Amino acid sequence: MKLQFPPLISASRFEYLLSEMIHILKQIKGNLMPPEPSKPPEDDVWLSSKEAMMRLRISASTFYRLKKAHKLKQHRMGGRDYYRQSDIDRCYEEA
């Protein structure tokens, strides 16, 4: 003789609960996944001091005055100063 138990929940209720659990798990997965790394702009190029002066069409004394006033953000690499083209372009637009 085989014992039979009445179902605890209906089939439709089970399907609903299962779909809710899947939805919650997808949200959790989305929160756990690391965000895509941001990519630098493609036109963002490193310029030397001389290249930056030529791009801004200014003299060396004006360039160093802007640098001293912290209007140009420099990055030191290998003992030399470099500037992002986007920073130089922004400085050019402000002038």
Q: Over the stretch 35-72, which tens digit does the pLDDT of each residue have?
A: 665 554 555 788 999 999 999 999 999 999 988 988 88
Query: In terms of residue numbers, what domain contains 55?
Result: 46-94
Whether 34 maps to a domain, the answer reads: no
Strand partners, 75: 82
Whether 50 maps to a domain, the answer reads: yes
Whether 19 maps to a domain, the answer reads: no
Whether 35 maps to a domain, the answer reads: no
And the tokens for 87? 């920073």
CA–CA dist 34, 55 (Å, integer): 38
pLDDT the model gives residue 50: 94
CA–CA dist 70, 62 (Å, integer): 12
And the tokens for 37? 């790394």
Residue 39 has phi, psi (to 5 degrees) of -100, 140
Whether 22 maps to a domain, the answer reads: no
pLDDT the model gives residue 4: 75
Whether 73 maps to a domain, the answer reads: yes
| 84 or 3, which is more confident | 84
Burial class of 67 by CB neighbour count within 10 A (0 to 12, 13 to 18, 19+): middle
Whether 29 maps to a domain, the answer reads: no
Whole-model pTM? 0.51
Whether 30 maps to a domain, the answer reads: no
pLDDT the model gives residue 42: 55
| Count of domains observed in the chain | 1
